[in-house]
Amino acid sequence: MNPVDFNRFEWNPELIERYNLAGPRYTSYPTAPQFHDGFGSEEFRQALVDSNASQAPLSLYFHIPFCAKICFYCGCNKIATGDTRRCEPYLQRLYQEMDLVTEQIDSQRQVNQLHWGGGTPTFLSDQQMRELMQETRKRFQLRDDDQGDYSIEIDPREIQPTTLPLLRELGFNRMSFGLQDLNLKVQEAVNRVQPRAMTENALIQARELGFRSLNLDLIYGLPHQTPETFAATLEEVIEMDPDRLSVFNYAHLPERFKPQRRIKAEDLPTPEQKLIILEQTISRLVEAGYVYIGMDHFAKPDDSLAIAQREGRMHRNFQGYTTHSNCDLISMGASSISQVGPTYAQNHHDTESYEAAIGDGRFATLRGLQLTEDDLLRRAAINQLICHFELDGDAFGKQHGINFGDYFQQELEHLQQHQKDGLLQIQGNHLIVSPAGRLLVRSICMIFDSYLDQNGLGKAFSRII
């Protein structure tokens, strides 16, 4: 059996049409629809206490839900305002939430990963950002050697000359810049006018300051995009030379996300055009030297993410692909989701309920899940496939104390069709996703998902591609 070639993929329109069903993105397993309100504040508190036994390092996430302007495509949990003073009550609750966490966990556990997301984290004033990091350092064991992955999401339209130097001073060493598209007509249609120079200058400054692994976010499927216009954007992006790229599929759900009602459905590219854009994008980025990490992510071969994939150390969680599989993820702020030991815990979505719970001296857990032994096994199998496109069932069985062929007998039978269609190679208990299957790896992972109706796979989710 041939080993995985991470630089190869195969575009097969017939297979894409057949397997492009609705399905999870597997940032968690079990997926969020399985979370329930029987797992609340007390259960999360106990999970934090129990996690101390492992002495695992920590990953911290802070959700900053404020934006100066609303991008019409956005489905994130955010608040549009021009007044940074509106952040103050929320920041005070973040500090209180940190106190609640540190009352339960060993404060000596090192923070190997930290991320500020949103919203637009740099909506905060310089003083507010400085204070948030200071309050974090008071309570957690942050690294001072610049060897952790300390990252932040950046809107280049909202940064000042002091912003990037301040972030570097505070300890950040990675950034993800929102770009989406460089075509002016597209930008105007989604209320995000952002000239190339604005993004490029921010990238140049970040490199000069010593930031590493700079990421650009693109979205395909936006109004007025065509294969030709997106190809032009891609050429300019390649010239800007980011270390990583995320190329997300726009899901038009105006019934769920009010800002999307400003986007006219007739202005969107057709499903056929979107597939052409995706195929062209993957082909061009691979040709330009990027490694196709999987799904919607690309990285240079010397980037830590590509190296972790080659070495079998990559992991997937609520922040996407990560190199820190051994960390307990503690997420703070409205709507954030923690993954601590064998549990998930999600905070209230709206800031009012979040702030009220924290103000009452309790965790703002809205719902969550305690994973079973079967959940943990399936999570490990899905993670191996979606991150590394390979699963050695015999080695997996030894690691987890099971007979892989017996335990997953039904799943292996279901996968025979994937093998016949050329998406997968199966030799005994050894599974390798083929170049044609990499785009459809979620379809393979779905076979291991015991919560899906295998006859109506993934009805609650968007399509795989």
List pLDDT tens digits, range 392-414.
999 999 999 999 999 999 999 99
**pLDDT(348) > 80:** yes
**pLDDT(125) > 90:** yes
Q: Where are the beta strands (DSSP E) in 13-73?
A: 58-64, 66-67
Are 193 and 186 in contact by the 8 Å Cβ rule? The answer is no
CA pair distance 460, 449, nearest whole angstrom: 14
CATH 1.10.10.10 fits 1-30+372-465, yes or no: no
By mean pLDDT, which of 121-125, 166-170, 209-213, 251-255 is the weakest?
251-255
Q: Model confidence at 459, in pLDDT bands (50, 70, 90)? A: low
Which secondary-structure segment (H or E) carries 374?
A: helix 373-388
Neighbours of 139 (CB within 10 A): 16
The runs of H, that is alpha helices, within 140-179 are 163-170
**pLDDT(458) > 70:** no
CA pair distance 207, 202, nearest whole angstrom: 9
Q: What are phi and psi of 340, to 5 degrees?
A: -120, 115
Are 259 and 71 in contact by the 8 Å Cβ rule? The answer is yes
**pLDDT(272) > 60:** yes
**pLDDT(226) > 60:** yes
Residue ranges of domains in the chain: 1-30+372-465, 34-332
Are 347 and 334 in contact by the 8 Å Cβ rule? The answer is yes
| Predicted local confidence at residue 2, as pLDDT | 57
| Predicted local confidence at residue 5, as pLDDT | 63
Q: Model confidence at 103, in pLDDT bands (50, 70, 90)? A: very high
> How many Cα atoms sit within 13 Å of 25 on the Cβ side?
16
Tokens of 370: 């305690």
Average pLDDT of the chain is: 93
Which of helix, strand or coil describes residue 315? Answer: strand
Pick the CATH number of 34-332 from 3.30.450.20, 2.60.40.10, 3.80.30.20, 3.40.630.10: 3.80.30.20
Residues 409, 412, 417, 422, Cα dihedral to 10°: -170
Are 368 and 43 in contact by the 8 Å Cβ rule? The answer is yes
Please state the rounded mean pLDDT for residues 48-58.
96
| Predicted local confidence at residue 7, as pLDDT | 65
